[in-house]
Chains A and B, each alone.
Chain A
């Protein structure tokens, strides 16, 4: 196991642990500006949680440590997942410097949900085209960089930086894999994104259904009123 893979796996555990701790504190509402006292309280907790997570990750469990044990079940997390966790922790700790809220991830969640669905379904022969194969070699290298630049030009800095980070970690083989997709998405990111997108879509459908019902009811009432007035 090389050094970068060691750090990748242990940092994954530390960031997951820290994110869970910070999230458990209660996330602030999107758009709310926390008081300075709150700001002071969050970052030491996040930092301590990362350090604690890192410490826990090296506790021996049989032939491996906690990180190695969890890695067996989770696989390497993607760069995108680590980026999400880091930005989440930074935004919770320093909301003025990193003003990223939950809603800012909505677009990326849709991308992860769609890409994950296509990638994992193709891997199980839902269709013959092997989308994962596109991630080998340099096929996606220049499109990814061009995409990142375009996103930056139109002011979408979060996905722009994410895409650039994916390219860097991929080219440096930081997580051991040589495929673009290993750094862009992982099953956990997909599942979380898919659930959020699907539940949001369901809520929208239900809400529009309710509104449609209300509108019909209102239309009926107005029609009744109109006929009563006419008679």
Chain B
């Protein structure tokens, strides 16, 4: 390192300069010692003892919140339920895509998606609708955010909006993560977040999750997060610039980024969807991208997402399209996917007991050539009940509700 010593002085002010230098040096040491004192006072002990600090403990050992298992049936077997509904559309958004769905504390649902004249257009906005648990109907569609509003809230120019992801945390707070792009295509995306404490009627201002070193670009979301025992979440994200790979963002209960874990070192996988198997075990299912094999890619973590096994292709085909997974009450895993190597004309429901060997249960959609049924979003709602939303030929968002009894009839 080059010397940054002060050059020699020849003027008569050398003595005064020396005094100033001594004062500056003293100020530095005071500032340094004050920093150390403040950090110690606020509980940020040096590494080692910091393991007992809650923040540090959270960083080093995330623990997944295990969902309670549903109560045993009361003796009367529920009837099979399979209901399909379409959500309303709005004239200004003839093209809709990438829906997401979450269950609210009152048993209702909220869904969100992006819509506009076409994907990536400047008029694309995030739309939402609530499903009333009493009436079983979807309410009129409302706009959650658009490019202009996001620009104002984030304090920066936003060129377009992308994938939204809804998640209701155990406290009842509803979170919306969504993609904003300021420069370039989707690979230039970054993740913004809002939250709502009134079931999605009113939202906080958007803020960005700064999760990448290079201009905070190349970070996108598609699938909902996994709850942690401490109120935080593990949000699956993916990188899409030059290479495509999955990442896991560890957020605390306030939605602040705590850490980031890479899900694989591969080059052609994206949009990981997670399912928790225990307090520390996670399964991940990735959309295949680029030149990788046309199959759903799978890997697992046994340390709550910090490290991951190598990716392996499943037998399930994948045409470079998003998949979604959800656990059943009996410990199986459900997946909704496009079971094709080339197109998105079919949408299938599959089930697995171990997460690796899959059986296609039924085709939910079997369209004509050129039609698209894609970007499914599956959640386990009330015990034994599942909700699925997906893109219906880019013109509508479809909601499907089914239960365990219906699953049994399709085995």
Contacts and interface: CB of A to CB of B under 8 A. Distances in A.
Interface of A: 1, 5-6, 9, 31, 61-64, 67-69, 71-76, 96-97, 99-101, 103-108, 110-111, 119-120, 123-125, 128, 130, 132-133, 136-139, 141-142, 145, 148-149, 152, 155-161, 164, 167-168, 171, 176-179, 181-182, 185, 187
Given A106-B2, A110-B1, A176 B210 contact: yes
A119 B212 CA distance: 10
Contact of A133 (B47, B183, B239, B261): B261
Nearest to A31: B7
Contacts of B239: 123, 125
A101 to B, nearest CB: 8
Contact of A137 (B25, B32, B243, B258): B258
A9 B208 CA distance: 14
Given A63-B151, A75-B215, A148 B20 contact: no
Contact of A157 (B28, B44, B214, B218): B28
Overall SS of chain A's interface: helix
A136 B50 CA distance: 14
A152 B216 CA distance: 32
Pairs of residues from A and B, 10 with the lowest C-beta to C-beta distance, nearest first: A107-B1, A1-B155, A72-B182, A75-B215, A72-B157, A106-B2, A177-B210, A63-B151, A158-B4, A104-B4
B55 interface: yes
B22 to A, nearest CB: 12
B28 A1 contact: no
Contacts of B7: 31, 99, 101
B35 A107 contact: no
Contacts of A156: 1, 4
B259 A1 contact: no
B39 interface: yes
A96 B2 CA distance: 20
Contacts of B183: 72-73
B31 interface: yes
Contacts, number: 166
Contacts of B6: 99
24 contacts: A63-B148, A64-B151, A71-B156, A72-B156, A73-B182, A74-B215, A96-B11, A96-B13, A99-B6, A101-B7, A108-B1, A123-B213, A124-B243, A130-B262, A132-B260, A133-B261, A136-B59, A138-B50, A155-B5, A164-B35, A171-B39, A178-B210, A179-B213, A185-B213
Interface in B213-256: 213-218, 239, 241-243, 245, 256
How big is the B interface, by class? 35 or more
A107 B245 contact: no
Contacts of B205: 1
Nearest to A182: B210
Given A130-B261, A145-B32, A182-B210, 11 more contacts: A1-B205, A72-B182, A103-B2, A107-B2, A124-B214, A133-B262, A136-B59, A136-B257, A136-B258, A138-B50, A157-B4
Contacts of A72: 156-159, 182-183
Interface in B110-132: none
A104 B32 CA distance: 22
A96 B9 CA distance: 9
B152 A63 contact: yes
User: Which of B11, B44, B205, B241 is packed against the most chain A CB atoms within 10 Å?
Assistant: B44
B367 interface: no
B348 interface: no
B117 to A, nearest CB: 19
Given A63-B152, A74-B215, A137 B259 contact: yes
B366 interface: no
Contacts of A133: 259-262
Contact of A120 (B24, B35, B213): B213
Interface in B279-327: none
Most buried by A among B2, B4, B159, B257: B4
Nearest to A30: B7
B3 A104 contact: yes
A168 B260 contact: no
A152 B1 contact: no
B213 A182 contact: yes
B151 A178 contact: no
Contacts of A176: 207-208, 210
Nearest to A163: B32
